[in-house]
Amino acid sequence: MRLHAIVEELSVARAAVEGGATVVQLRRKGASSDEVVEAGRGFGELEVTFVVNDDVEAALRLGADGVHLGRSDEGVERAVAAGLLLGTSAASVEEARAGEARGAAYVGAGPVWATPSKPDADPAIGLEGLAEICGAVSIPVVAIGGVDVLNAADCIRAGARSIATNRDPVYPTERGLRPGAGSIAAALEATTGVTPLSIGKPEPHLFESAAEAAGRQPADAIVIGDGIVTDLAGAKAIGARSILMLTGIAKQADVDAVPPDQRPDAVAANASELEAILEGFAG
C-alpha cells in the first residue's frame, strides 16, 4: 500500500488504479448509506483494496475490503467483527495508539498540512507530528492532508507507509509523474480519451514548456484546473484559455468574487459539462 487515492466517482477510481494506486477510498461526505452504495457500484471490480469512508453499513453492502472511520464515527466494533480492514484517523500519538488498540489495520495521520478539501480539519501536525505517530504504533501509517506531488516523498521519509491524496492530478511513480489521482485528469481523460500530459505545478514556464513540446504556441493551450490563484492565473499569464473545474477547491462564489479579467473562460462542475465546453472551444 503506497498510494491511497481518495475519490468520489468510479471514473476517477479507475484512472487512479491505472496510474498505480493500490488503495481507493470512496468518500461521499454527507451522503446517506443508500447514496454511498449507489456511488460505489463497480468499485469492487477494481483489482485493488477498496475502502469506504465513514460508513460501515455501506461498506458491508458493497462488499468492500475495508472502512475508514474518523474519531467521531461509530461502528468500530461492527467493522472488526465483520472482518473489514479498519482504518482510523489520528492527529496525535494518543489517538493513533487508541486506534491500534481498537483493532485498526492502519492509521490515517494528519492533516500533515492544511488541506483545502477539508476546511474543518484539525490543525496541521506537520512532518514532526507525522514522524511521532509513525514511531508510536506498529501498524502502517498513511499520511493525509495537504499531500501532493511536491511533498509526498517527505511523508515517506518521515515514516509513513503510504500517502493519501485527492488534490493533484499527478503523483510520483517509478515511471515518473503519472495522471490518475486527481479528478481533473480523470474527467479530461474520460471526456476526450486523451491521457493528460502532467508536468507539475502551474507555473507559466511549465505551461510554455508543455506547449513547446507539443509544437504549439502557449496561447493555443487550454488550461484545466481547480485553483483560481494557481492554475488559472498561470493560464492568464501565457494568454491561454482556461476552464475551472469545481472540485471543491474553488466554488462558483469564488469565481464571482474575483475581477472579470481574472475569471476563467468557462466553469465545469462535472465531466459532462467539461465535455460540452471542450466541444464548444473546438467549434
Mind telling me the catalytic residues? 27, 89, 118
For strands 170-173 and 176-179, give the pairing. Answer: antiparallel
Residue 109 has φ and ψ, to the nearest 5°, of -100, 125
Residue 248 makes CB contacts below 8 A (sequence gap 6+) with 116, 117, 226
Cα separation, 213 vs 70, in Å, equals: 45
Cell of 241: 484559455
Helix, strand, coil % over all residues of the chain, rounded to 5: 40, 20, 40
Cα separation, 96 vs 144, in Å, equals: 13
Rounded to whole angstroms, what are the CA distances from 225 to 40, 168, 265? 25, 10, 12
